């Protein structure tokens, strides 16, 4: 399932996502709802399933929010997952999450910085998008 973004907000969203891709070498970039519904999705690797990535991101975010709440580290800002062959960063946007991923481990600081830099703008854009 995916969420429809009103045309005026879609233009703003696309512009910010393009800025992020211009600043970074992301292999994947997505915006998903906290329920795992896809808003925007791009992946160089065509075998990545956008529905599966959205669902996994929602589950990770839910668990991450619970963890930072219980540890008194709230509010959640980012979740960073690293594997041998790559990493992904989830940035909290309120009711939505921005996901960036890459196989280039050395690019992680730049990607985290870019997602953080654009996170508040994206949160403002997405705040007015209905979830249903």
pLDDT digit string (tens) for 26-85? Answer: 889 999 998 889 999 988 888 888 888 888 998 999 999 999 999 999 899 999 999 999
Domain range for 104: 7-127
Across 37-123, the runs of DSSP E, i.e. the strands, are: 38-43, 78-83, 86-92, 96-102
Q: Is residue 49 part of a domain?
A: yes
For residue 2, tell me if it sits in a domain.
no
Q: Is residue 132 part of a domain?
A: no
Model's pTM, two decimal places? 0.91
Residue 37 is assigned to a structural domain of this protein: yes
Is 1 inside any structural domain? no
Residue 24 belongs to a domain: yes
Q: What CATH number did the domain enclosing 27 receive?
A: 3.30.450.30
Tell me if 119 is assigned to some domain: yes
Domain count, the chain: 1
């Amino acid at each position: 399932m995916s969420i429809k973004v009103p045309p005026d907000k879609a233009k703003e969203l696309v512009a910010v996502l393009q800025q992020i891709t211009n600043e970074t070498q992301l292999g994947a970039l997505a915006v998903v709802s906290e329920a795992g519904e896809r808003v925007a999705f791009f992946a160089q690797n065509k075998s990545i399933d956008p529905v599966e990535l959205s669902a996994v991101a929602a589950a990770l975010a839910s668990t991450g929010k619970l963890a930072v709440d219980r540890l008194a580290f709230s509010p959640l800002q980012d979740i960073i997952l690293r594997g041998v062959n790559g990493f992904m960063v989830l940035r909290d946007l309120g009711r939505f999450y921005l996901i960036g991923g890459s196989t280039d481990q050395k690019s992680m600081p730049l990607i985290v910085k870019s997602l953080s830099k654009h996170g508040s703008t994206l949160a403002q854009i997405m705040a007015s998008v209905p979830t249903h």
